[in-house]
Every structure is written in structure tokens, then in C-alpha cells.
Amino acid sequence: MHIASDPVADHSAAAPYSWTIRVYYEDTDAGGIVFYANYLKFFERARTEWLRAAGIGQLALSEGDGVMFVVKSTSVDYHAPAKLDDELKLTVVVERLGRASVEFLQQAWKISPTGSTLLAVGRIKVGCVNCASFRPSAIPPHVLDRIPR
């Protein structure tokens, strides 16, 4: 399933941030494919590395600013399955940046010598909250300044 004309693929043209991972036994299920819930983990690994590349560490954020990012909503469409040993590329695009929230468009692609296959497309909304109260909190300015747009 090589997808060239998919409208969401236009983001690829903009060369979004991407992070590459491998599929291990831990990621698969008895169907012989990656367990669908694990794409949420994969997408988060990519967002975490995207933040780290921008100089933002999440442990430092919670310990230094008393805030953390929590996921408010997720939406994932699964197009094709991945298998053990597959190499996956996860992309990160900010679709909307609010005062206390960020909305991401993320894709999972299978990378192979014969081309890339779109496996899953996710829309993830995260909110910045106070670590103790879990109440919404403005994203600290020093973080906001560093978030790539």
C-alpha cells in the first residue's frame, strides 16, 4: 500500500521532524502484527525526541516548572500493519499551538528498500497541566519560545 496521493502525505513535502524506530517482539501481538495501541507509544517517542531536539526535557519541565504535558485526546486511523523487525519512521507536525495545549498530526511509515508505506495517521492533543492539581496551566514562555512551528 504505497500512498503517494494521500492528502495527509502533503506534510511529508514540508519535511517534518521524524524519528525512526524498530519493531520488537514486545510491540507485536498474536495476530503477528504491531498491537494498535502501541502506535500511541511510538508517536509519543517521536514527540519526546522532537521536544528534546528543541532543548526541552520533560523531567526538567516537571521538576523545574511544576507542569507537565498530558494527553487530552487521541485519534488514530490504521491503514496497514507492521511486523516484527520493520523499520518505522514517525513524523511530528504541529497543527495548532494554543496557550496551554498543542495539537499534533503524526504519521507512522514503514521504511523499506522498495519505498515507504503509510501505516497509521494520528491526531494527538496534549495539554499543559500543573503536576499536582492536573489543572490546565499556560505553557511556560521559555518552552513556548522553543517549540518549532
How does DSSP assign 93-146, residue by residue? EEEEE-SSEEEEEEEEEEEETTEEEEEEEEEEEEEEEETTT--B-PPPHHHHTT
Count of residues engaged in binding a copy of itself, rule: CB under 8 A? 42
- Name the one range near a copy of itself by CB under 8 A: 83-91, 94-102, 103-111, 139-147: 83-91
Contact status: 134 vs a copy of itself (CB under 8 A): yes
Residue linked to cell 500500500 = 1
- Name the one range near a copy of itself by CB under 8 A: 48-56, 95-103, 106-114, 136-144: 48-56
Site for a copy of itself (CB under 8 A): which residue of 44, 88, 110, 119?
44
The set of residues, in sequence order, having a beta carbon less than 8 Å from that of 143 and lying 6+ positions away, is 56, 61, 65
- Catalytic (active site) residue 29: yes
Catalytic residue (one of 29, 77, 85, 145):
29
Least Å distance, CB 56 to a copy of itself, is 10
Residue linked to cell 491526531 = 123
Nearer to a copy of itself, 68 or 149 (CB): 68
Which triple of cell numbers denotes residue 7?
492528502
